[in-house]
Structure 1
Amino acid sequence: MPIPSSSIDTRPAPEPTDASPDWRHGAACRQVTPETFFPAAENGDSYDEQVTAAKAICHTCPVLKQCRAWSLLHLAYGVAGGLTERERSTLRRRQRRAHPRAAAAAHVAPVGEVAATATRRERRAAAVRYLAESRTSRDRAARQFHVSIRTIDRWLAEARASA
């Protein structure tokens, strides 16, 4: 099964600086080819062998925790953080069941779910994230989050100030 290019972060990891170290710089997977973490086989013994090899590298990695957290949010395919795509999917589902309000706030679409179930702080974070990721208008975001345009503008200003 081909890997969709949208599921892979192709940006190079920036070199760490004293001001902002990047956890990916210390990852064990940087020493091997990326194909190691995207098994060519879809199931069977060959798949199991490829996954075992990838997980062996993951489990020696000093940034396993950071990678796992990142992969749960950003990676749909392959092995990352010591988990396969199926394992990540299962873990996400368990997290949503255990913490439905937090899952609703992190979930960008459909936006109505966020507005209906999340706290004000979660709604604000989701709205700012939604505006940044979707490039939608402030008017539309205000309608979707059930707030005024003025509130959206205030949330954006607060996000810029805290960044």
Structure 2
Amino acid sequence: YPFEFLFWFRSLYRKYLYKFTEKKLNQKIYSLEKKYFLAILQVYNDTQIKHHYKKSIEEFMEELILSFANHARAKSYLVFKHHPMDRGYRNYSKLINELSQKYHVEGRILYVHDTYLPTLLKKALGCITINSTVGLSAILEGCPTKVCGNA
């Protein structure tokens, strides 16, 4: 792709931007120890998604938010962790806001990009992933893990 470098520049810009814009959000999440579920997002066109999950990242997110709305305790949160290699390509903020409103869980769905993963896993009630190696990290951290897709 001749313009691939543009996505990498955007990724670098966003990484720098999120370092400042997500500072308070990260502090909030760290204070929510054992009050949130962590959903790990894959790169939108990852082979695991195409061959072993058969749905899009957007469908994965909607299913999780719907399930969260129907089954989670009123004081719990759902945190989506963006994949660092997808930072320049996708931003799901608008989708998350729309789905949060659609399923009446506004303020309880959080979305982060460059938050330190081991800390997120240690403080989470559980981790949801699509065949990601993060699932192994979650298990090693003692975090209950739900793997979606067929491995």
> Highest relative contact order (Cα 8 Å, sep 6+), 1 or 2?
2
TM-score (norm 2): 0.26
Bigger Rg over Cα:
1
Higher helix share: 1
